[in-house]
Amino acid sequence: MAATLPMIAGALALGIPAAHAADNPGRDTLAGTRPAWATAKADKGATSNSAQVSARVYLAGKDAAGLAAYAKAVSDPNSASYGKYLSAKQAQSRFGATKAQVAAVTSWLKSAGLKVTGVTQHYVSVTGDVAAAEKAFGTQLHNYTKGSKTYRAPSRTASAPDSLKGAVLTVTGLDNAPHKASHSDQLPGPGAVFKNAGPFSSYYGSNVAKTLPDAYGKKIPYAVKGYTGKQLRAAYGAGTYTGKGVRVAITDAYASPTIAFDAQTYAKKHGDATWKTGQLSQSLPKKYTHTGADECDASGWYGEETLDVEAVHAVAPAANVTYVGAASCMDDDLLDSLSKIVDKHMADIVSNSWGDIEANQTPDLAAAYDQVFQFGAVEGIGFYFSSGDNGDEVAHTGVKQVDTPANSAWVTAVGGTSLAVGKGDKYLWETGWGTEKANLSADGKSWEGFPGAFTSGAGGGTSKTVPEPAYQKGVVPQALATANNAAGNRVVPDISAIADPNTGFKVGQTQTFPDGSEQYAEYRIGGTSLAAPVIAAVQALAQEARGGKAIGFANPSIYAKYGSKAYHDVTDNPTGSGLAVARVDFVNGVDDSDGLATSVRSLGKDSSLSAVKGYDDVTGVGTPANGYVESYRKH
């Protein structure tokens, strides 16, 4: 959503069709379909009538207000309806579009001259020329400058005939600015091999860099080689739970061709349970699109899937994992993956390590996403989204903002920490993830410009567009909630886990070596792309603890436990003095033939965001402690 756009009517945010338009008789406006950047100043004139449009008309269903209300009630531990989930078939029957509504919408689109290319229970997709689109949606399409480029967009809010009686939720595709998600910026491109140089610590503090300069008045340890499942399970209170009988789905774009081999090899090397036949499955589209490096960079997503699958299995080794790959990194394709999970109830817990900045989200897409999340909630499905890897986004975009879909009030946004696990797998402490980097001076006697520049950190902050959900009231500090709106807005994240690549997770993946051979290799990785599957796996343990009954949309129960022994309350300075690790990297990412680069990485320096006592916009309510999984037995 555009950073300057005011929140659209709460009704649309909850998937309720917009009101009748007084200035457009006989039409219902589809609020949010004209992007904020389509201004008079940026207007370059009408788009050619013969230019082609590809759009999706999302269906509101027979009872959009009822869907939102039931999704809220069934997720609230204080509601009489709590946990009374519907099957996918029941949900569609009660809240989905009727055959008559689909037929009416299809007929309207065809009568305007558009070609119907697909019909699902969620939307009708169409193609046609600009003239037909303008006729159908009661608007004119103009070209507008957006940054250094020019894109098409409606010059006035789109609408649908009121004879359809609110059957249309929204339409996407009338503007053709790119809407695409990115995975973690911490992921190296797996097309070419990436290796970490040593020295390493095997656990936090095990190998002190005695020959390197001090930081914060003391010698510092080398970065860990990469934590494994045993250490993460101990840190987050897994106990004897393994996620047995729980189904976890993972969505990303594309699919790694070596995932089965890599996941099994990794599990055997690190003491995780061997994957059983059928325990890891994939659900993939018939064809892929936008695969080029200048579009979605398909191979760049292979490492994301590998990380997500291996992290879930490391923490919840008995859970069943289904990978649902999208045809591309574009919103429509990612929405299809999420819808597939909901429509077939493929899992109760869904991990999603992708997103975009809020400024790139538009209200039409937000409504389409929220509808899927609400259908998931009424079925007992919880969605977990990484909060982003660029802190407050100022260094990355110049504008302070949060990421999306993590900003949705209907998902669990997962923030990130730096994690210290000591000898004997003992949990020592966590800080909010935020890294500042300074390089070793040429003479090796100091760190240049210590502590250096901000490089990356857990995404968080206050949404500019999403109203404050009820479950955050009384927990999120007023100063955060009202940062952009006196009435209060959604604050991200909700909960957090390990994310800092300098205290990261070891992952194993088949990669291409300089000689052209493809070989399995391991490297340390982080990002909230790690935090999301770790929390999804912890939720699988919690679901097992409560006898296998689905937790569903977890935020109301996550906030209900706030301040209890269920959480580690994470702060930026847990030891009372500054924290840092020494890191040595291959300059070329493979070997020492081009030399080594030594740097100091300070912990707990997340742009303008701070992890403080209580709720904060880096770590949310905190990270799961020993009491977290067990607390679900009482539900």
Q: What is the DSSP string of 352-415?
A: E--BEEGGG--HHHHHHHHHHHHHHHHHT-EEEEE--SBTTSHHHHSS---EETTT-TTSEEEE
What is the distance between the alpha carbons of residues 91 and 87, in angstroms, rounded to a whole number?
Answer: 6
Average pLDDT over residues 578-599: 95
Phi, psi of 225 (to 5 degrees): -70, -20
At residue 294, the pLDDT reads: 82
Q: Is the pLDDT of residue 273 over 90?
A: yes
- On whether the CB atoms of residues 334 and 374 are closer than 8 A, the answer is no
Tell which residue, 412, 416, 390, has the closest CA to residue 403. Answer: 390
- On whether the CB atoms of residues 611 and 485 are closer than 8 A, the answer is no
Name the 3-class secondary structure at 419. strand
Angle in degrees, 0-180, between the axes of helices 363-379 and 88-95, rounded to the nearest 10: 130
In sequence order, the β-bridge partners of residue 384 are 351, 412
Average pLDDT over residues 208-237: 97
Phi, psi of 253 (to 5 degrees): -95, 145
- On whether the CB atoms of residues 168 and 56 are closer than 8 A, the answer is no
* Cis-peptide into 493, omega within 30 deg: yes
Average pLDDT over residues 164-171: 96
Element containing residue 545 per DSSP (H, E) = helix 528-545
What is the radius of gyration, based on Cα positions, of the chain?
Answer: 24
The residue type of 624 is P
Lowest mean pLDDT segment, chosen from 275-284, 295-304, 496-505: 295-304
Predicted confidence (pLDDT) per residue in 462-484, tens digit: 999 999 999 999 999 999 999 99
Tell which residue, 122, 125, 119, has the closest CA to residue 91. Answer: 122
At residue 181, the pLDDT reads: 80
Tell which residue, 244, 250, 202, has the closest CA to residue 222. Answer: 202
Q: Which residues of 283-298 are buried (b: 16+ CB within 10 A; e: fewer)?
A: bebeebbbbeeeebbb
Residues sharing a CB contact under 8 Å with residue 592, sequence separation 6 or more, in sequence order = 197, 586
Lowest mean pLDDT segment, chosen from 9-18, 49-58, 488-497: 9-18
Predicted confidence (pLDDT) per residue in 35-70, tens digit: 989 999 999 999 999 999 999 999 999 999 999 999
How far apart are the two ends of the chain, measured CA to CA in Å?
36
Predicted confidence (pLDDT) per residue in 341-394, tens digit: 999 999 999 999 999 999 998 899 999 999 999 999 999 999 999 999 999 999
Per-residue DSSP letter, 609: -
Percent of the chain residues past pLDDT 70, beyond the cut: 94
Q: Is the pLDDT of residue 320 over 50?
A: yes
Q: Is the pLDDT of residue 311 over 60?
A: yes
CA 436 vs CA 233, 391, 425, 572: distances in Å: 28, 12, 27, 13
Q: Report the 10 Å Cβ neighbour count for 90.
A: 12
Residues sharing a CB contact under 8 Å with residue 555, sequence separation 6 or more, in sequence order = 75, 412, 469, 471, 494
Q: Which superfamily is assigned to 229-634 in CATH?
A: Peptidase S8/S53 domain (3.40.50.200)
Could you tell me where in the chain the CATH 3.40.50.200 domains are found? 229-634
